[in-house]
């Protein structure tokens, strides 16, 4: 069988939204971080409400609470609280990660670098672990409700944690070095690949239909901060 080098039809998409993002990256990052913290606080508020409900501060009759002709059973109320908590934690963490990719902190202090970049994971634990413990110790809910809600809360904890981890944190030094090397030159990346490329005809891009291009800052923002092994000259690290 002949080896076919299929040439796919290619589409180039600019990563920039028609604005110069680099100049403004610090204030953008600050806004993203404030947004993250606000969402996280709302998430923790959801958890606190669930806990207050569990410990009886809010009384809900076991046959449910009637709101606008809808009867909310204890299970429904708790699951709504957990889902709201989950959504808020995840969105907050995405804003936090984005901020750290456009305006990273120095990696000189390794502990601080780790804690800062994994703040989303820490918040996910804070936003679910106490609730899980309360549920496991609860004596007021019926057994079935308690079991189901505990499982839902535990799954939410895992999902929130997994979605909040920054699997490839960026350091200030890494971004500064890349900025010094590439300036305003375009780099290229794809929907799924985790690297950025200097050569749009790099053979690893052969099968990609959509190629994104933008400055190195935009590549970092898109979480593409790993230089391609083939088309980016390898520095001596």
CA distances from 90 to 18, 27, 40, 155, 157 (A): 27, 22, 9, 14, 11
In the complex with Zn ion, which residue's Cβ is closer, 182 or 230? Answer: 230
C-alpha atoms less than 13 angstroms from C-alpha of 108 in its C-beta half-sphere: 4
In the complex with Zn ion, which residue's Cβ is closer, 138 or 200? Answer: 200
In the complex with Zn ion, which residue's Cβ is closer, 69 or 234? Answer: 234
In the complex with Zn ion, which residue's Cβ is closer, 156 or 202? Answer: 202
Smallest separation, CB 204 to Zn ion (Å)? 5
In the complex with Zn ion, which residue's Cβ is closer, 170 or 228? Answer: 228
Smallest separation, CB 197 to Zn ion (Å)? 3
Smallest separation, CB 167 to Zn ion (Å)? 21
User: How far is Cα 163 from Cα 93, in angstroms, rounded to an integer?
Assistant: 8
DSSP alpha helices (H): ranges in 103-142? 110-117, 119-137
Find, among 178, 155, 44, the residue nearest to 102 by Cα: 178
| Beta pairing class for 195-196 and 70-72 | unpaired
User: How far is Cα 138 from Cα 146, in angstroms, rounded to an integer?
Assistant: 8
In the complex with Zn ion, which residue's Cβ is closer, 119 or 232? Answer: 232
Smallest separation, CB 181 to Zn ion (Å)? 15
Smallest separation, CB 201 to Zn ion (Å)? 9
Contacts of 157 (CB under 8 A, 6+ apart): 124, 125, 128, 129, 132
Bridge partner residues of 66 (DSSP): 71
Smallest separation, CB 226 to Zn ion (Å)? 11
Q: Is 172 exposed, middle or buried (0-12, 13-18, 19+ CB in 10 A)?
A: middle
Phi and psi at 15, nearest 5°, equal -85, -15
Q: Which residues would be at the binding site for Zn ion (CB under 5 A)?
A: 197, 202, 204, 228, 230-231
């Amino acid at each position: 069988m002949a080896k076919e080098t299929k040439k796919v039809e290619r589409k180039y998409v600019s990563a920039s939204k028609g604005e110069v993002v680099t100049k403004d990256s610090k204030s953008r990052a600050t806004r993203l971080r404030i947004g993250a913290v606000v969402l996280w606080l709302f998430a923790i508020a959801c958890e606190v409400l669930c806990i207050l409900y569990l410990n009886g501060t809010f009384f809900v009759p076991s046959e449910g609470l009637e709101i606008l002709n809808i009867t909310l059973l204890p299970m429904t109320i708790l699951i709504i609280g957990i889902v709201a908590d989950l959504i808020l934690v995840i969105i907050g963490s995405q804003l936090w990660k984005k901020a750290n990719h456009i305006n990273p902190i120095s990696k000189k202090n390794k502990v601080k670098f780790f804690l800062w970049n994994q703040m989303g994971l820490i918040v996910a634990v804070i936003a679910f672990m106490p609730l899980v413990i309360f549920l496991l110790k609860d004596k007021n809910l019926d057994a079935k409700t308690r079991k189901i809600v505990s499982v839902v809360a535990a799954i939410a904890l895992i999902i929130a944690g997994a979605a909040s981890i920054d699997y490839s944190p960026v350091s200030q030094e890494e971004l500064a070095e890349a900025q010094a090397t590439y300036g305003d030159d375009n780099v290229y990346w794809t929907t799924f690949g985790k690297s950025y490329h200097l050569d749009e005809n790099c053979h690893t891009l052969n099968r990609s239909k959509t190629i994104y291009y933008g400055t190195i800052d935009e590549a970092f923002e898109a979480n593409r901060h790993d230089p391609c092994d083939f088309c980016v000259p390898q520095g001596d690290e």
